[in-house]
Chain A
Amino acid sequence: MYNENVFNYLRTNKLPHIWCPGCAHGIITAALLRGIDKLKLDKNKISVISGIGCSGRTPGYLDMNTLHTTHGRSLTFATGIKFANPSLTVIDIMGDGDALAIGGNHFIHACRRNIDITAIIFNNNIYGMTGGQYSPTTPVNAYASTAPYGNVEPPFDIVKLAMGAGATFVARGDAFHIALMDKIIEQAISHKGFSVVEIMATCPTQFGRRNKMKEPHQMLDYVAEKAVSIKKWNEMSEEERAGKFPVGIFIDESRREYCEAYEDNVIKKSERGEK
């Protein structure tokens, strides 16, 4: 069975989860656990941190060292955990509002530092938990509870933002293309450095209902149709690209990781009395 081993990493007594039927958050969580299973990571040595939002509830279901922090600030806690104990595998789960609105500053600085954390953004283009307000990734003209006439704010491109800020692994997947999502998450966790994974998620309850996609499958179709591979994307014209987004791994490069740099350049120097 595809998901068989996933249960080894779940706090099954905390199920059923709170997510709505058709919500993609559970789909992404399963992919994360398959990745952890494939990498044979010791759950005693994994710390999963989250902010506040529907996505933020994920760590509570995972049988690991878990921390449900404050809205937007989970990367600050994650940074402290990783830096203080680099032997832990640190995974930070954020919503789009979480990571990019209130937490935008923490996000770009974590990218810049290249600290070995895997940041997974559950991007459902909306504030799910608080009732469908527009987020920094809500498309222009989409409806939200605080955009009753349609959204006028242009959205962030998370991939470009993360690359510009210095993340060394940046990928985008979507909740429909499971095999690609699995591959991306597994590689992101293995990558040494700051990894950003954006998963285009679905929120039928708060996004779908307001945007003529109240059936869960309509929302999944919506992301599925928009996702095109990077290779294909590169061959498309501007007009063909309209309304679509590229999925795949955009960058996977090696640069000095923060904790190692501190160890080698700061701690060792101080021990030798150098400056």
Chain B
Amino acid sequence: MAKIELMSGNDVAVKAAIIAGCTFYGGYPITPSSEIAEGMAKALPPVKGKFIQMEDEIAGIGAAIGASLTGAKSMTATSGPGFSLKQEHIGYAVMGEIPIVIVNVMRGGPSTGMPTYPAQADVMQARWGTHGDHEIIALMPCSVQETFKLTIEAFNLAEQYRVPVILLTDEIIAHMREKVEIKEKNEYKIINRLKPTVDPENYNPFDTKHGMVPPLAPYGEGYRFHITGLTHDHTGFPTSKPDLVEKLQERLRDKILKNRKEFDWYEERMVEDADIVVFAYGATARSAMRAIKDARRENIKAGLYRPITMWPFAYDNIRKIAKTAKQILVVEMNLGQGLGEVERGVAGTKCKVKFLGKANGELITPTEILSKIREVSNV
């Protein structure tokens, strides 16, 4: 039976992680994400899971990756400065194809910035924070209920595609309490990583015979294999042969890009006939929702496009909107991180891109968005 609870985004992420089957958490406390660590410290032991507070964020994600290699679903959570520290190992998880979930509760930056104030300042760090060419999956919830859903999806995607998945929330969603409906565990679709079916002697950890995502054996069950952060061939051992490296790079990209349609999540409101479509995500989308309704009352044909899967970016969805809308207004709590992506999406169409951004620790109100809608609609 479904239960209705009043919970914060951070608390619900803990609940969802346990339902998704998470049995390991490694992390380091930082505002505004610490409630996730605290919640996991409490919630894991009763399910025989392990929680460890490591000496820093690099160590937190390192431990989580190590645990994942023993077969555990594992997780870490952090905010801005800690997210910067995790980048080295996010890249390692990409290269080693090791499932893991990273929650980043965004706060103001650069540096220590504004620890307790909201921001959406890590959109680009999520995309390009770690070095090297890579694709990454990042999901952005706009409510507590959606945080619940997307935390489970983050684990599912991590397991399904053998990748690190980033859940990108913000201080508002993380600390806000809302009503959430939580069903019985068996009512949710839970995905577990593929395990090899071949004999240990014939197992290769990066074998693509059966598709772009190779099965991953847990350490300790007879499949003795090697993983390195160096470029490698299907056996897992280092190679720098250009053709093999190219094959690896392409597969790491394609296993995400070619499957993107499987998790092309977004929300559209009143977009069909809209002259102006607001592009907003996370907490900002809540203000935008109100603003477009108010605009409609003033006979401005406004709509909302809210990306839920932020990365890889849905350029096609933007292009589709750009064919019918005259303008897209990008609204975000940063100085234009999503803006450039929207501009790439509309390129070649007549649609104009306008911008309302703020990085001063204040959330963007419906009134501000409405004023901007009015302003740009009159030209």
Chain A: residues with CB nearer than 8 A to chain B? 11, 14, 43-45, 47, 49, 52, 59-60, 63-70, 73, 76-85, 87-88, 105-106, 109, 262, 266-267, 269-271
A60 partner, pick from B66, B68, B238, beta carbons under 8 A = B238
B54 A76 Cβ-Cβ under 8 A = yes
Nearest to B69 among chain A residues (CB) is A81
B63 A79 Cβ-Cβ under 8 A = yes
Instruction: Please measure, in the bound complex, the distance between the C-alpha atom of A84 and the C-alpha atom of B23, giving whole angstroms.
Output: 8
Contacts A80-B24, A84-B66 known; A69 to B48 CB distance under 8 Å? no
Nearest to B229 among chain A residues (CB) is A70
Instruction: Please measure, in the bound complex, the distance between the C-alpha atom of A86 and the C-alpha atom of B52, giving whole angstroms.
Output: 14
Contacts A70-B229, A271-B46 known; A77 to B66 CB distance under 8 Å? yes
Asked if B74 is at the interface (CB within 8 A of a chain A CB), the reply is: yes
Chain B contact residues, majority secondary structure:
mixed
Interface string of B21-48 (1 = CB under 8 A from A): 0011010000000000000001001101
Chain A contact residues, majority secondary structure:
helix
Contacts of A11 in B (CB 8 A): 226
A77 to chain B, nearest CB (A): 4
Contacts of B227 in A (CB 8 A): 66-68
B59 partner, pick from A60, A84, A106, A262, beta carbons under 8 A = A106
Question: Can you report 30 residue pairs joining A to B where beta carbons are below 8 Å apart?
Answer: A44-B220, A44-B221, A47-B220, A52-B229, A65-B219, A65-B225, A66-B224, A66-B225, A67-B226, A67-B227, A68-B228, A73-B59, A73-B89, A76-B62, A76-B66, A77-B62, A77-B66, A77-B69, A79-B54, A80-B65, A80-B70, A81-B67, A81-B69, A83-B24, A84-B23, A84-B74, A85-B219, A88-B219, A270-B46, A271-B45
B70 A84 Cβ-Cβ under 8 A = yes
8 closest Cβ contacts across the A-B interface? A80-B66, A76-B62, A80-B63, A270-B45, A84-B67, A77-B66, A68-B228, A65-B219
B226 A81 Cβ-Cβ under 8 A = no
**Number of residues from B at the complex interface, CB < 8 A:** 46
A63 B224 Cβ-Cβ under 8 A = yes
Chain B: residues with CB nearer than 8 A to chain A? 23-24, 26, 42, 45-46, 48, 50-52, 54-56, 58-72, 74, 88-89, 92, 218-222, 224-230, 237-238
B218 to chain A, nearest CB (A): 8
Nearest to A61 among chain B residues (CB) is B226
A113 to chain B, nearest CB (A): 9
Nearest to A273 among chain B residues (CB) is B46
Nearest to A112 among chain B residues (CB) is B55
A70 B45 Cβ-Cβ under 8 A = no
A248 to chain B, nearest CB (A): 30
Contacts of A69 in B (CB 8 A): 62, 92, 229
Contacts of B69 in A (CB 8 A): 65, 67, 77, 80-81
A78 B66 Cβ-Cβ under 8 A = yes
Contacts of A60 in B (CB 8 A): 226, 228, 237-238
9 new A-B pairs (CB below 8 Å) besides A81-B66, A83-B52, A109-B54? A43-B224, A60-B228, A65-B69, A80-B52, A80-B65, A81-B67, A83-B24, A83-B63, A84-B71
A80 B64 Cβ-Cβ under 8 A = yes
Nearest to B54 among chain A residues (CB) is A76
Instruction: Please measure, in the bound complex, the distance between the C-alpha atom of A263 and the C-alpha atom of B347, giving whole angstroms.
Output: 57
Contacts of A271 in B (CB 8 A): 45-46
Nearest to A45 among chain B residues (CB) is B220
B372 to chain A, nearest CB (A): 44
